């Protein structure tokens, strides 16, 4: 997306009461010559330079950036830290899988290195597992243990997403079956057993019915947008706050920011966004205003 496409989304998002701008893109985009040329035409020498501009713009408009940009070096993380409320990278799995063949950005060790470096820099961090890509139950256990160990060392993992693989048309895995609901429920139970209690277990609100999963240990339903489709899972429509609350019946939604309350209280954010966090958060570190289109449980 070009700046002239992104700026109206940010401005409309701020007016709609959204608090998070999720910046995400493909793995190792700069290896594609056409993309490098496109960046050059925009006036940027790297994706990082373009991203820093967009994060600054989001903050000026009144929305907190959250960057999920694949594997990153320590210097890239350090450059983005002051302009992000939180950052993230899905571990997916510590197993070596056919699903990740020919994807250098999916090498588990490199992803763990990125998550580790974020911990050293005290960046509130989101990671997670992708269930149903050919991994075994033992692989999921090892993946959760790896995340738990990193959090015990650095204290920076705010949430772990348990996401079900959804086959996409036109991809090599378009005919690969998605995981059974039982596998998702089992993985959520494992996550709650293995992860430290201060790490939240999240499921996306538009991929699987969340109500039954909350009893198994889910306590966060991620973000929903009143403006854009889910670019990660474009085939799955977002719920709105009202119908999500209806699905949950007596379980009440409470909105949070992209930075979790405990990190708001600890001050794990920069001077650049201190004013915006003060404006958006209440005394407990949750969203100050009532639900307005971006829901968190």
DSSP string spanning 74-127? HHHHHHHGGG-SEEE---B-SS--GGGTT-GGG-HHHHHHHHHHHHHTT--EEE
Name 294's Cβ contacts closer than 8 Å, sequence gap at least 6: 17, 18, 19, 20, 223, 224, 225, 226, 255, 287
Could you tell me which residue, 208 or 285, shows the higher pLDDT? 285
Please write the tens of the pLDDT for every residue from 227-248. Answer: 888 887 777 788 888 888 998 9
Dig out the tokens for 284 from the structure.
Answer: 């407990």
* pLDDT above 90 (res 257): yes
Q: Which of 203, 74, 199 has the alpha carbon at shortest distance from 146?
A: 199
- Banded model confidence at residue 148, pLDDT cuts 50, 70, 90: very high
Domain 3-280 listed as CATH 3.20.20.70? yes
pLDDT score, position 99: 66
Quick one: angle between helices 47-61 and 271-280, nearest 10?
A: 40
Start-to-end C-alpha separation, the chain: 30
What's the rounded Cα separation, in Å, for the pair 76 and 48?
7
Percent of the chain with pLDDT over 70: 92
* pLDDT, the chain, mean: 90
Report the predicted TM-score, pTM, of the whole model to 2 decimal places.
Answer: 0.91
Name 98's Cβ contacts closer than 8 Å, sequence gap at least 6: 134
Percent of the chain with pLDDT over 90: 67
pLDDT score, position 30: 86
What's the rounded Cα separation, in Å, for the pair 21 and 268?
18
Name 123's Cβ contacts closer than 8 Å, sequence gap at least 6: 77, 81, 84, 86, 87, 156, 268
Cβ atoms 286, 258 nearer than 8 A: no
Q: What are phi and psi of 281, to 5 degrees?
A: -105, 150
């Amino acid at each position: 997306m070009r700046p002239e496409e992104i700026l109206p989304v940010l401005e409309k998002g701020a007016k709609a009461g959204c608090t998070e701008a999720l910046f995400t893109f493909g793995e190792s985009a700069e290896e594609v010559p056409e993309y490098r040329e496109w960046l050059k035409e925009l006036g940027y020498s790297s994706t990082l330079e373009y991203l820093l501009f967009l994060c600054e713009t989001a903050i000026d408009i009144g929305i907190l950036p959250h960057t999920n940009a694949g594997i990153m070096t320590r210097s890239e993380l350090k450059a983005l830290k002051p302009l992000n409320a939180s950052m993230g990278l899905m571990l997916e799995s510590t197993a070596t899988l056919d699903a990740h063949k020919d994807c250098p950005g999916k090498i588990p060790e490199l992803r763990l290195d990125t998550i580790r470096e974020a911990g050293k820099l005290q960046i509130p961090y989101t990671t997670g597992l992708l269930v149903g890509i050919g991994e075994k139950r033992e692989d999921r256990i090892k993946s959760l243990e790896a995340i738990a160990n990193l959090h015990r060392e650095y204290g920076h993992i705010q949430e772990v997403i348990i996401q079900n693989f959804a086959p996409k048309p036109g991809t090599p895995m378009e005919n690969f079956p998605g995981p059974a609901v039982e596998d998702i429920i089992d993985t959520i139970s494992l996550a709650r057993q293995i992860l430290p209690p201060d790490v939240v277990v999240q499921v996306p609100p538009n991929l699987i019915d969340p109500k039954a999963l909350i009893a198994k240990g889910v306590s966060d339903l991620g973000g929903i947008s009143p403006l854009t489709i889910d670019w990660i899972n474009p085939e799955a429509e977002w719920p709105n706050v009202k119908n999500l609350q209806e699905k949950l019946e007596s379980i009440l939604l409470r909105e949070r920011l992209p930075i979790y309350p405990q990190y708001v209280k600890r001050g794990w954010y920069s001077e650049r966004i201190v004013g915006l966090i003060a404006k958006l958060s209440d005394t407990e570190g949750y969203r100050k205003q009532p639900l307005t289109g971006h829901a968190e449980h």
